[in-house]
Structure 1
Amino acid sequence: MSLDDDNGYGNDSGRTDDGYSTIGGTRQTRTRLPDGEGGDGYNASRRPARGSRSLVTVVGVVVLLIAAIAFANMGGGGKNDNDGGSGSAGNKPGAASTAATGTKPVTGKNGSIPSGFAHDEQGAQSAASNYAVALGSDGMFNAVTRRSIVRATHDPAVVETLLADLTKAYSPGFLKNVGLNDDGTTPSGLTFVSRTIPVGTKVVERSGDTATIEVWCTGLVGMAGQGSTKPVTATWFTISEKLKWVGGDWRIESSSQTEGPTPVNGDNRASTADEIAGAVEGYGGFTYAR
């Protein structure tokens, strides 16, 4: 394992000084929202839009979040054509790549994370999607829950090295940069948001006990509440997870992340800080299944 790659775990990621530049909590494209009136982080004048950056991929193993703890600019990720379809013209995904399969979702749990995925392509896609959700959650910012998440999603052979690197990555300085207290707790009166939502999956490669799955995601990250200086914003990114069949389930060996594909922003009015905080508290997460 090496820490000298520049865009992911295992030839894939680094961080810059911007804690908001998301998985595991920071990986994002800045979006300039309309200027408004008011004193909270959602109605105040916005800062100039920054160049797009991918957030951190806390899912991988070989090149983790380096000591700088922010995100380096990401280049275009590999687009591999296969039966699941790439984005290129004339090679569209078939109905089976997105349609419900009729197979019941897994019922097992490893802690709070689904487990017991099928030893086939569908199972690998479901595992990759669920792992993306877990590794992009706010639980990654707490040392105790972070250990549980990493152990539940990764090959045991890489867990201890990954945890050691993540401990350095989630330093008090980094946590402060994203608006949290030194121990990862949220300041009084605010609500911290870090969520990853899978939009689709693609099987890049599958051979016996290994699989490479791409998960196209959108995510939310920021601080909601009156007085927030880091409003919740949306980002789009694609995570490539290299999975291995270990102990009767799919586990992550390494992963990388690239920016986009990103759709054009709609004309929706930006919600207030209180509306965003209320939505986060009122709408829970979900278990992904096809």
Structure 2
Amino acid sequence: MNGEQDGPDRMAEVKPSTPWRRWKPSRRFTIAVGVPVVLLAVIVAVNQQADHRDADADSTSAKGPATDTAAGGYAHSRTGARQAAEDYAELTGSDEMYVKKSRDRLLQQVMTAEAAERFQMGLDRAYTPELYEESGLHRDGSAPKGFTFVDRTFPINSSVTAYRGTAATVAVWCLGTLGLDGHNSPKPLTTSWYTVITDLTWTGGTWKMTDKSMKDGPEPAAR
């Protein structure tokens, strides 16, 4: 994979003390009202096609759904690991990460206890009033009157890069949308492409994250 992504600092090696999304001067696309709806439709179509192709190609994948509803987790398979990684990329790439209570809840939900504790401490140091101001928010993390803060991650496709039965590494290609939605927004909604690298372990009958890093791109070729 190659390509560049601008906007929030989605670093190739994201440390726990670094927010997974940071503002900086960018060449990212500014999207107009209404475009996200069309974009979402494209994402859904691409996702469905990609899942179908990967399920056919992966002879070791579970034949049923990726999630094991009986156990309340994900299937112990490559497909289950992919599904978990995609869900976790979406959850940890949302505006809920900007609020400590919901951030801690998400980390405890998707990570092992050791990893959650490690990332909680680092992210508590990273999500500061200064970061909120840089993101166009008030110092307490609330959005200015008349604006809605948007931070969304849309997994497009994924691949298992390592699988050892109780451990897996999954690369998830994502499209991110970030900014303040509203008339004359000081931080217009922008989009970026990036890849989330997720390390998973099989524990307690489901897949849990042990680490997460990010790298830029790849960006789709322009037509």
- Report the secondary structure of 1:229's partner residue: coil
| Cα gap change, 1:264 to 1:246, in 2 (>3 Å) | same
The question of whether the paired residues in 2 share the 8 Å contact of 1:7 and 1:13 is answered with: no
What do the CA deviations read for 1:132-169 (whole angstroms, capped 9, x no partner)?
A: 00001110011110011111111111211211111110
**Counterparts of residues 234-273 of structure 1 (less than 5 Å):** 234-265=191-222
Match in the other structure for 1:30: 27
What do the CA deviations read for 1:74-126 (whole angstroms, capped 9, x no partner)?
A: xxxxxxxxxx9xxxxxxx978436xx976235376xxxxxx500111000000
Where in structure 2 are there 5+ consecutive unaligned residues?
1-10, 34-49
Amino acid at match of 1:103: G
Cα distance in 2 for residues equivalent to 1:105 and 1:133? 16
* Higher gyration radius (CA): 1
The question of whether the paired residues in 2 share the 8 Å contact of 1:30 and 1:235 is answered with: no
Q: Larger helix proportion, structure 1 or 2?
A: 2
Deviation of residue 9 (structure 1)?
3.8
Using the size of structure 2 for normalisation, the TM-score is: 0.74
| Cα gap change, 1:122 to 1:106, in 2 (>3 Å) | same
- Report the secondary structure of 2:143's partner residue: coil
Q: Please state if 1:223 is matched with 2:184.
A: no
Q: Please state if 1:8 is matched with 2:13.
A: yes
Larger RCO: Structure 1 or Structure 2 (Cα < 8 Å, ≥ 6 residues apart)?
Answer: 2
Q: State the Cα RMSD in Å.
A: 3.2
The question of whether the paired residues in 2 share the 8 Å contact of 1:216 and 1:237 is answered with: yes
| Cα gap change, 1:169 to 1:208, in 2 (>3 Å) | same
Q: Larger strand proportion, structure 1 or 2?
A: 2
| Cα gap change, 1:14 to 1:159, in 2 (>3 Å) | closer
**Counterparts of residues 124-203 of structure 1 (less than 5 Å):** 124-203=81-160
Deviation of residue 193 (structure 1)?
0.8
Where in structure 1 are there 5+ consecutive unaligned residues?
1-5, 22-27, 34-40, 44-83, 85-91, 109-114, 267-290
Deviation of residue 188 (structure 1)?
1.2
Cα distance in 1 for residues equivalent to 2:163 and 2:140? 40
Match in the other structure for 2:4: none
Match in the other structure for 1:96: 57
Using the size of structure 1 for normalisation, the TM-score is: 0.58
Percent identical pairs in the alignment equals 31
Deviation of residue 8 (structure 1)?
2.0
The question of whether the paired residues in 2 share the 8 Å contact of 1:7 and 1:14 is answered with: no
The question of whether the paired residues in 1 share the 8 Å contact of 2:78 and 2:160 is answered with: yes
Amino acid at match of 1:220: T
| Cα gap change, 1:42 to 1:104, in 2 (>3 Å) | closer
Cα distance in 2 for residues equivalent to 1:143 and 1:265? 38
Match in the other structure for 1:20: 23
Amino acid at match of 1:132: A
Cα distance in 2 for residues equivalent to 1:237 and 1:181? 27
